[in-house]
Amino acid sequence: MNKYIVVIGFVFLLPLQSFSQYAFVNSGANDIYQEAIEAFEQKQYTTAQNKFEEYRKLQDHERIKAENATYYSALISIYLYQSNGENRIKSFVKSNPAHPKALEAYYELGNFYFREKNYAKAIQYYEKTEGDKLKGEDKTHYQFKIAYAYFSRKAFQEALPYFNSLKRRDNQYQSAANYYAGYIYFDKKQFDEALIDLERAAENDDYKISTANMMANIYYQRGQYQKLIDYAEDLIPRLNRLEALNIKLLIADAYFEQNNYKQANDYFEEYRSENRSKMDRELLYRMGYVAYQLQKYEEAIKLFEEVGIAKDSLSQFNAYYLGELYLKKENYRFASNAYEQAKLLDFNQDIAMESHFQLAKLQLKQGNTTNAVEELSSYIKNYPKSPYSTQANELLSEAFLNSNAYDKAIEFLESIENKSLKLKEAYQKVTFYQGAEYFNQANYYRAMELFQKSVDYPQNISLLGETYFWMGESYSTGKKYKEAIASYEKSFKSSKRSDNWFANLNYGLAYAFYNDKQFEKSLQYFKEYLNNGKSATYYADAIVRLADCYYVTKNYQLAINYYQKAIDERNPNIDYAYFQKGVVNSITGNNSLANQSFDKVISDFRNSNYYDNALFQKAQLAFESGQYEKSIDGFSYLLKNLQQSPLRPFAYSRRALAYFNLQRYEKAEEDYTLILQNYLTHSTANGALAGLQELYSIMNKEGDLDQYLSAYKNANPNDGEVTKIEFDAAQSLYFNQKYDRAVSSFKAYIQNYPDHSLTAEARYYLADSYYRNNQFEEALGLFYEVVEADNTAFNKRSIQKIAEIELVNKDYSKARLYFTKLLDQSENKKDKYNAYTGLMEIAKANSDYSKMILYADLIMEEAAVNANAINEAYLNKGMANYYQGKYAEAKSSFQSAVNAAKDEFAAESKYMIALMDYNSKNYQESINALFQLNKDFGNYAIWIGKSFLLIADNYYAMDEIFQAKATLNSIIENADSKVLKDEAKLKLELIESETGTTEEGQDSSMNTIEMEEVIENDSTKN
């Protein structure tokens, strides 16, 4: 027992002895360790690390302290940015998982990176830290710092639980946690939760300013406008520039929402004067609306225009108010553009409807009646139950009365079954105007259709009389004289002497009776017409026609009197008057006086259409008085000098008789033979056969009578008129414009009757059927055949068609040759017009501007067949001068076209005037001209479309960007032409690229501060 105790005692005493010896030995190591700890605490990291490493290398170090030294040395390597620092920490934790410092290692590493603002690294190590095992303040620090690191990375969802935990208990981070939690809730638009946290944070003066913007925004979002104003106005002096600017904007918006526009305007003006960044469209709109409410119209317009155009509801309201503002300033063009934009957008139907109606009224107010018709028609269709529907219908009827887009007006009015009296009168007028337009275009069939529609609605008696007058004119032009007489007589019943067409009504009726061979009636109306005196439009012609009536009714003395009156007054038909006076005197046996008149024509009017007739009649008088030699001389002169005269076969026939009477039978035989060789189908051919037969009998000569007789029969077969029936059937197809069938019929006729007297005419009709079917190559050869044969009355027409086809074929040499031939054979203004127009086209194709001017002048001087012809000449002359850089001369010609008539040539001329103004940088003058074009020439869609493109160019050049874009948008939405739409789109893209239309707008109702600013200004993050 005692021995055991002794042994135990020995064992117990040994460690004590050993420890005493160890403590003695390690007293120096402890000093090193203590020095390292002190250096670490004093942040003398290099010294501390050296001491820790020295301690670790001692053979007699303590294990726990050595492990601590390893930890501290590894931690210091992080602080000193040594490359192996992180790996040493990780190695320590891995080797000493149960060591107390292992719990702190990742936390301290996170703290280091947190201080370095490397929040991603801080999060990486905080996440490896077991935060719940941290004690006291370390746990609080850990929660805030990991939350803040998450927050800095905008990982709000991860940060929020930590902030929520900290804000619920007393700690140094409680205010900060409330602030950041409030910020996160604000960002998530959970405004109730945000406001609670931010108000608590604001109790700490350090956060009172930082919370201001967010709290003000929350009051705004919750509609607590007065609370926002009361809260924010006192804060402004304590805020920095950016914070104050945002608060002022919120206060302005709050006053705006309260309809306190004066206070809102004060803050908006301060904001605009201090703001240095681009303002978003919504903000500009609100500022503009405030200025509008305060009647600061110029300022409102400027702001609304800055809002610009986009496809959103803001643009619709913005455009509507711009329209109203421009309307107040009587700038109707800009107002129209603005209302057009508001109408095109459909976000608010009430605004679209109101804008549509205002636009329609403006179009009418500006005299753009065609556009007004379209807008009002569209409005009535889109809004049949509109509160403005009655007014719209009334305005539409007014627009129709002034519109030249008659076809559209007619189409719309015909769609209304129960027309009001006002609409019936409008229909009567527009159908009349459309008919008059067709009449001026020489489309008499369509004119009659429209005139008939007009008289079916006899609301206006005066217009009814005028319509019947033009119906009479149309029938007369179509040679339907009985129908013309009936129409003129109806016009008399509805017309008064004061009506401007009344005088011409007498003239028209006189001419209709004249052409219907009712000469007794005709002369009465010509006499009535002449009572208007020499100022009457057709006075000169009426004098001659009255003389003709007296001549036909055998009142020869009065006929001579009026022919002489025409001569005395130097009537334009003086050559005809001399000729007719000669004819009348020849009838009454006054051959001497007759010859005097014929001689006057022959000597003074060699280019007269009656020159060959005068020669023939003079020779005929000699023949009838038995002066055969003299008559032979006269007929011979005609035959020698007038190769194209239609009187040649008659001259041969009469000369043959004269030779026969002088018993110069061989000469008579020659003339009869010439007739049978060259004019086999002419009316003189039969007499030539009889004369030749008599001559052969007298001369006891067999001759070639059988041969001529056979040829005559072949050319004029007596087959019961079957061939004539077939010809008439083919001709009927031609005149009814059934050209495909006409081609087949005429081809069959020519094949079946190659030698018939009508075959030559059939060949022409076949050629023209091909021509009218646009089968130009098939037509061309046949026209050449007709011209070469020269045995029909269609020679001149065929020459014209050859010229036109060769022009289409761009064979300008041949085209010029045949247009020149047409000019040489021209008998009237129409022929000359066709020739000069063709030569004009050749000159244009060759850019021969001097020739263009020449032919334009010749058309105006010699071939002014109608107003359209004159206008076309003015246009071409203007273009020739324009291309030569002679702009003053060009503008003069274009203006003459505009003044002369309201046709397509005038529309193009007006466009050219505007283009020249644009090129000269006279932008406002150009715009004025283009809107006048729109007003006066609304029926010519292509020029209206081109004019709006040029209007947009003018606006852009004037820096009226809103108006330019509005105009282009209108073209894109409304134009029928794809070409116009594409060009408008291209111009719009160019404007947007050059003006930088794409904007990054700020959210003016959520003026939050930037994240970096929050973090930089926070005092708790270290």
pLDDT tens column, 512-562: 999 999 999 999 999 999 998 988 888 999 999 999 999 999 999 999 999
Query: CA of 271: how far to CAs of 232, 242, 264, 288, in Å?
Result: 15, 10, 10, 14
Q: Are the beta carbons of 146 and 123 closer than 8 angstroms? A: yes
pLDDT of residue 1020: 57
517: left (phi over 0), alpha (psi -120 to 50) or beta: left
Single-letter code of the amino acid located at 499:
D
pLDDT of residue 1012: 45
Q: pLDDT tens digits, residue range 995-1005?
A: 765 433 334 44
Q: Does residue 839 carry a pLDDT above 90?
A: yes
pLDDT of residue 8: 28
Q: How far apart are the first and last CA of the chain?
A: 68
Q: Are the beta carbons of 806 and 814 closer than 8 angstroms? A: yes
How many other C-beta atoms are found inside a 10 Å radius of the C-beta of residue 142? 20
Name 981's Cβ contacts closer than 8 Å, sequence gap at least 6. 971, 972, 975
The residue-averaged pLDDT of 295-308 equals: 93
Q: Are the beta carbons of 990 and 205 closer than 8 angstroms? A: no
Q: pLDDT tens digits, residue range 117-128?
A: 999 999 998 988
User: Minimal CA–CA distance to 305: which of 295, 292, 294, 619?
Assistant: 292
Q: Does residue 1008 carry a pLDDT above 50?
A: no
How far is it, in rounded angstroms, from Cα 105 to Cα 100?
Answer: 9
Q: pLDDT tens digits, residue range 390-400?
A: 789 888 878 87
pLDDT of residue 61: 77
pLDDT of residue 1002: 38
Q: Does residue 14 carry a pLDDT above 80?
A: no
pLDDT of residue 5: 30
The residue-averaged pLDDT of 854-863 equals: 90
User: Minimal CA–CA distance to 648: which of 638, 637, 660?
Assistant: 638
pTM of the model: 0.58
How far is it, in rounded angstroms, from Cα 526 to Cα 545?
Answer: 8
Q: Are the beta carbons of 63 and 71 closer than 8 angstroms? A: no
pLDDT of residue 996: 65
pLDDT of residue 123: 93
Q: Nearest 5°: CA angle at 109, between 105 and 113?
A: 170
Supply the DSSP string of 191-233, one letter for each residue.
Answer: HHHHHHHHHHHHTSHHHHTTTHHHHHHHHHHTT-HHHHHHHHH
The residue-averaged pLDDT of 944-948 equals: 88
How far is it, in rounded angstroms, from Cα 835 to Cα 218?
Answer: 84
Q: Does residue 6 carry a pLDDT above 70?
A: no
Least confident of 152-161, 676-685, 805-814, 912-921: 676-685
DSSP category for residue 347: S
How far is it, in rounded angstroms, from Cα 967 to Cα 985?
Answer: 11
Q: Are the beta carbons of 941 and 976 closer than 8 angstroms? A: yes
pLDDT of residue 829: 81
Q: pLDDT tens digits, residue range 48-85?
A: 989 888 888 887 778 888 888 888 888 888 888 888 87
Q: Does residue 152 carry a pLDDT above 70?
A: yes
pLDDT of residue 790: 81
User: How many helices (H) and strands (E) would you count in the chain?
Assistant: 56, 0
Sign (positive or negative) of CA dihedral 959, 960, 965, 970: negative
Q: Which residue has the tokens 């000369």?
A: 655
Q: pLDDT tens digits, residue range 239-255?
A: 888 888 989 999 999 99
pLDDT tier at 369, thresholds 50, 70, 90: confident
Q: Does residue 944 carry a pLDDT above 70?
A: yes
How many other C-beta atoms are found inside a 10 Å radius of the C-beta of residue 289? 19
Tell which wins on pLDDT, 721 or 835.
835
The four Cα atoms 464, 467, 471, 473 give a dihedral, to 10 degrees, of: 130
How far is it, in rounded angstroms, from Cα 354 to Cα 962?
Answer: 20
Average pLDDT, the chain: 87
pLDDT tier at 1021, thresholds 50, 70, 90: low
How far is it, in rounded angstroms, from Cα 413 to Cα 459?
Answer: 15
Least confident of 71-80, 697-706, 938-947: 697-706
Single-letter code of the amino acid located at 344:
L
Q: pLDDT tens digits, residue range 715-758?
A: 766 544 456 667 877 887 888 888 998 898 888 888 888 877 78
User: Minimal CA–CA distance to 759: which of 751, 768, 767, 750?
Assistant: 750
